[in-house]
Amino acid sequence: MLMHQPADTVVDAVALELVHWLSDLRDVVAFVSALPQPTPALAALLQLHQAIDLTQHWPCLNLQNIPKRHINVGIAALAAFPRVAVAPATNLRWLSAPLPRTTSVHMPLKSCNRTTLAFARAWGSSVRHVWVRNANALLPHVQEVLALCQHLDSADLLVSTATNAGLWVDALTRPACPFFALTVDISYMYASAAECMPLAQAILSSPSLRRLSLICNAAGIHDALLASKGDLHHVTKFCAVGMPAQPLIKKTDPAKLLNVLCSGTFDLWRCSALQCLSLTHGSLDWPRIATGCCPNLRFVTLFGTIADADMPLVAQWLSTSRVLRCVQTPSDSVGELGAQAMAGALPQWIARGLEMFRLGRNL
């Protein structure tokens, strides 16, 4: 026997779903204000917005930053928010009501304390994202919190010291969750390759790793990764600025790379799945690249100098994209050939949905 929900319940659910899809708070307020009978959660959202500016709280409500006198209204409005963020000093009064099924939780782990643990025990099944920024030791409650968060979708680890960083990678790796995405961002890590070896080995052995970013003075971890056995075949987003990219890109599976931001030369022609590309300070083999295609490329920025003779090849390669949205080529040497090539390709790109085009010396 089929069970039918009351019409008003279905309408309320649809209204909440539509609100969750809106990225701009102004659109949310306009939509909810136009409803003849907003749901209790949406009505509470308007009331909360009248009390405090929610511009910095959409689409993720930062519970710790809501004044105590407005917490009750905030609790009533929880279902209106796609996400909420808890922090070590979040008021425990938020736990007085069950978390709506449609609302997910983001949680920091660096300063994990008894408050964080209390939220993990109550809302652990709704925690979808955790992040760690510049943490050293794994605090006592971290492992218990992670054990309670069985439905994590993603984790961000931002580190600038090699101390215990490998332990964090191991703790955040979820081999049993094939769709779980781990991001490791490393910057200003003044450490030798030997000091970075435990971190490198943890990175290379993590099947959860999806994004790896090495920025500014990360030569130690760069060299440690190259010296260690293993590959980066699970990585889909790769960033290496201020160091050669090609050696590490050889450890990736080029067919899986979706997003690349790097310096120097690399085998771009092998990366046919790219969606976003940003290159700095390097020359590329454009005759070789132009023999391939980039059907899914949406955003491309090419810093540095491109020879005028290569610009027709650049335009030819970019024209293989079906979804190009933004092209920025700040070349210092664009001449007649380059200008003609880009001018000839622009009508086709615009017809396919191009939104931004910049060609010149300065961005």
pLDDT in tens, 59-70: 999 999 999 999
Average pLDDT of the residues of the chain: 90
Interval 163-188: pLDDT, tens: 889 999 999 998 878 889 999 999 88
Residue 177: predicted pLDDT: 83
In a domain, 343, yes or no: yes
Asked if residue 330 is part of any domain, the answer here is yes
Tell me, yes or no, whether 206 lies in a domain: no
Return d(Cα 333, Cα 185) in angstroms, integer: 34
pLDDT at 362 over 80: no
Each residue of 319-333: pLDDT tens digit? 999 999 999 987 665
pLDDT at 8 over 70: no
CA distances from 195 to 157, 163, 185 (A): 18, 8, 17
> Is the model's pLDDT at 2 over the cut of 60?
no
The rounded percent of the chain whose pLDDT value lies above 70 is 95
Residue 304 domain-assigned (yes or no): yes
* pLDDT at residue 110 in the model: 80
pLDDT for residue 332: 64
Q: Which of 83-97, 165-179, 300-314 has the highest mean pLDDT?
A: 83-97
Amino acid identity of 109?
L
Q: DSSP class of residue 273?
A: T
pLDDT at residue 261 above 70? yes
- What is the rounded average pLDDT of the residues 298-314? 88
| Residue 155 bridge partners (DSSP) | 130, 182
Region 200-217: mean pLDDT is: 93
**Mean predicted confidence (pLDDT) in 281-287:** 82
Least confident segment among 122-131, 236-245, 290-299, 329-338: 329-338
What CA–CA distance (Å, rounded) separates 295 from 324? Answer: 9
Domain assignment present for 286: yes
88 three-class SS:
coil
Query: How high is the pLDDT of residue 250?
Result: 93
346, part of any domain:
yes
Residue closest to 352 by CA, chosen among 320, 328, 312, 304: 320
Q: pLDDT value at position 17?
A: 92
Read off the pLDDT band of 284 (50, 70, 90): confident
- For the ranges 7-11, 13-17, 162-166, 224-228, the lowest mean pLDDT is seen at 7-11
Residues 6+ apart with CB under 8 A from 43: 32
Would you say residue 290 has pLDDT above 50?
A: yes
What is the reported pLDDT for 229?
94
- For residue 317, being part of any structural domain is answered with yes
Q: Is the pLDDT of residue 1 over 60?
A: no
297 in a structural domain: yes
**pLDDT exceeds cutoff 70 at 7:** no
Q: Which domain holds residue 351?
A: 270-363
- pLDDT score recorded for residue 220: 93
**pLDDT tens, residue by residue, 335-355:** 888 889 999 999 999 999 999
- Is 189:217 a contact under the CB 8 Å cutoff? yes
Number of domains in the chain: 1
What pLDDT shows up at residue 206?
A: 94
Residue 6 pLDDT greater than 70, yes or no:
no
Higher pLDDT, 190 or 235: 235
Q: For residue 99, give the DSSP letter.
A: P
More confident residue, 117 or 137: 117
Give pLDDT, residue 4: 39
Selected residue with higher pLDDT from 218 and 106: 106
